[in-house]
Amino acid sequence: MLTGAAGAAALGRLGTLGAQPQASGRADIYANVGPKLLRYRVANDVASLTEIGDPLVLPEEVQEAYAWGRFLYVATSDAHTAKEPRNHYLHALAVDSSGALKPVGDAVRLRYRPIYITVDQRGEHLLSAFNEPSSVAVHRLNADGSIGGEVRQAATLDMGIYAHQIRVMPSGRAVIVPARGNEGVPGRKEEDRGALKILGYENGQLTNRQSVAPNGGREFRCRHVEFHPSGRWVYVVIEAQNLLHTYRIDDDRLSPEPVFVTSVLASSTRSKPGQAASAIRMHPGGRTLYVANRGRGKEMFRGEEVISEAMENSIAVFSVNPDTGEPRLVQSADPQSLDVRMFALHPDGRSLVATSHESEGPIKQRRGDDIEVVPPRIVLFKVEADGRLTFKYKQDVRTDGAFQLWCGAVPY
């Protein structure tokens, strides 16, 4: 999601225009507040963030984005801002030599709210996942980087329930879609079971290949996946169960059961209502993995409803065994904020930037015998040599009721 590094090795239809500028190592962090894309630069000493220029304002709220080569592709929607959502778009933005963004071509309308987007390894197609209804779309990318027409799928695809992401497998010949399902409501509704859907991929066409659903998909709220650079393993965030599953990859298929199951929480106790795992990123070196934990469960304290002290808001840091792929929790870093939905790793591997999801402004949280007011923030960490995180800088963000749904590193 962050750098699309595979684009440098396989330029495809975009040719040199889409080539990743590997030599410079320069990148800025872009983060949204509603329809605005704000641009930040990490200081050379990784001690602070500086906001650069004026925000780029898109027609609707930013949902997701994906940087590939010298382009940033952005998905927007009015799903959170309109009573009857109907405006869902894909946008292509060119990244110039200074890191600034400029629209390329026209926005392309989508049928549903896009919850995740990605670009294939050759830069020939943009793939979108929709959660409601659970489905996908594939669009051609033109030679100038603009978005072309949709590729009609010949096969009837099994997308499970509530697709939450779409990622191209390391080979480039398949994609994986975590179909999260939904938690049940005791006495009212049974759970919608989750599954990992593996689809063959060739020339923009998708075909059903494999469905992985341990325990029949029960309590399997698979949300996001991340690949090991070796291509041997895929790591899956199990959202409501606060687990990390490791699966072996063999010929674009996954092991039917996880080879490792690891808690993402510092506490070994079972996860609680309101506790959920979120984004996942692998360090470029392949030896460290990061997962965001979001705790929003509330309690009454001193006559006020506040975020419970039992909730964990953290960025879990895992060391990864290079021989077996096994992740081991080594740190639960305080994100200095609540409800981190997304974070970005700088391509140079020296810094990590996280944004909090909350939209309603400052939220009250219990801290021992005190109540702390926590505003929406963007937070900077230094990535140490062993992969652990050291907090360096935080900046309050005025959201005015809008969500911070996405942030990412954009190379230039």
Q: How many domains does the chain have?
A: 1
Q: Please tell me the distance from the alpha carbon of residue 179 to that of residue 270, in angstroms, as a whole number.
A: 23
Q: Is residue 72 part of a domain?
A: no
Q: Is residue 20 part of a domain?
A: no
Question: Looking at the predicted structure, is the pLDDT value of residue 13 above 60?
Answer: no
pLDDT confidence of residue 273: 86
pLDDT confidence of residue 4: 38
Q: Is residue 78 part of a domain?
A: no
pLDDT confidence of residue 19: 41
Instruction: Give the H/E segment covering residue 280.
Output: strand 275-282
Average pLDDT, stretch 162-185? 97
Nearest Cα residue to 107 out of 53, 137, 147, 55? 147
Q: What is the band of 401 on the pLDDT scale with cuts at 50, 70, 90?
A: confident
Average pLDDT, stretch 149-167? 98
Question: Looking at the predicted structure, is the pLDDT value of residue 86 above 90?
Answer: yes
| Contacts for 409 with CB less than 8 Å, ≥ 6 apart | 2, 3, 27, 28, 29, 67, 344, 345, 346, 347, 353
> Over pLDDT 70: what percentage of the chain?
92
> Over pLDDT 90: what percentage of the chain?
88
Q: pLDDT tens digit string along 348-393? A: 999 999 999 876 667 899 999 999 999 999 999 999 999 999 999 9
Residue 256, φ and ψ in degrees, nearest 5: -65, -25
Q: Is residue 402 part of a domain?
A: yes
Q: Is residue 227 part of a domain?
A: yes
pLDDT confidence of residue 124: 98
pLDDT confidence of residue 5: 38
Q: Is residue 96 part of a domain?
A: no
Question: Looking at the predicted structure, is the pLDDT value of residue 310 above 80?
Answer: yes
| Contacts for 223 with CB less than 8 Å, ≥ 6 apart | 164, 165, 178, 180, 237, 238, 239, 277, 278
Nearest Cα residue to 174 out of 133, 234, 134? 234
CATH code (residue 190): 2.130.10.10
Q: Which range of residues forms the domain containing residue 264?
A: 121-406
Average pLDDT, stretch 172-198? 96
Q: What tokens does 153 get?
A: 């799928």
Q: Is residue 199 part of a domain?
A: yes
Q: Which residues pair with 37 in a beta bridge?
A: 32, 56
Nearest Cα residue to 348 out of 282, 284, 279? 284
Q: Is residue 271 part of a domain?
A: yes
Asked whether 207 and 224 are in contact (CB, 8 A), the reply is: no
pLDDT confidence of residue 362: 75
pLDDT confidence of residue 14: 54
Q: pLDDT tens digit string along 239-298? A: 999 999 999 999 999 999 999 999 999 976 566 889 999 999 999 999 999 999 999 999
Residue 215, φ and ψ in degrees, nearest 5: 55, 35
pLDDT confidence of residue 250: 98
Average pLDDT, stretch 335-352? 96
Query: To which residue do tokens 């309590």 refer?
Result: 219
Total-model pTM: 0.93
pLDDT confidence of residue 73: 98
